[in-house]
Amino acid sequence: MYKYIKKTWRSPEYKEIQKERLISWRKQPVTLKIDRPTRLDRARSLGYKAKQGYVLVRTKIGKGTSKRETPSGGRKPLHAGRTKHTPGMSLQRIAEGRVNKKFPNLEVLNSYYVADDGKSKWFEVILIDPNHPVIKNDPKMKWIGRQKRRVYRGLTSAGKKGRMMRGKGKGFERKNKPRMR
């Protein structure tokens, strides 16, 4: 069944539905708790289950680079270093961190891409309540109660990808060392 959901999500007819959704999503708050996943196939593959203790949040994040503060002291605008400062993390990873800041009692399990337009990207973040009895009694999920603030330590899927923890061999020798800029 999930194979067909995935196929539908990529179809041109769905793109029209997505455009209508984006019109309403732009008016909504940046971080919004939702009842059910927009992409059920992706959510299930990342560990989501429709039971108590699981929370879904859709978040919006601005695309592009950030601006820095203007330095004190005169210099040419070209050398002020205000623009083109790219973050060291992906937008998905930043979005996960912002959601975890908003919901401090929950832990981020994973997240996935939902949509984007010219200005913003939307991600859905799967959160788990580690203190919920259903989660504590689930032998497959009670491990999350022993991990604190895993999103800030790069332990989600997007975090591991950014830290180059998804491979072996040539190119992954420096995976634990900081990247050169």
> Could you report the per-residue pLDDT of 28-79, keeping only the tens digit for each?
999 999 999 999 999 999 999 999 999 999 999 999 877 777 778 888 877 7
8 A C-beta contact, residue 93 and residue 159:
yes
Helices marked H in the chain: 2-9, 12-27, 40-45, 91-102, 133-137, 157-162
- In CATH, what class is 27-65+81-162? alpha beta
**Average pLDDT for 148-163:** 91
Give bridge partners of residue 113 from the DSSP assignment. 123
pLDDT in tens, 76-104: 877 777 777 788 889 999 999 999 999 99
* Strand 107-116, strand 54-62: pairing: unpaired
Six token digits for residue 178: 């900081």
Domain extent listing, the chain? 27-65+81-162
8 A C-beta contact, residue 55 and residue 34:
no
Cβ-based burial of 179 (10 A; exposed 0-12, middle 13-18, buried ≥19) = exposed
152 confidence band (pLDDT: 50, 70, 90): very high
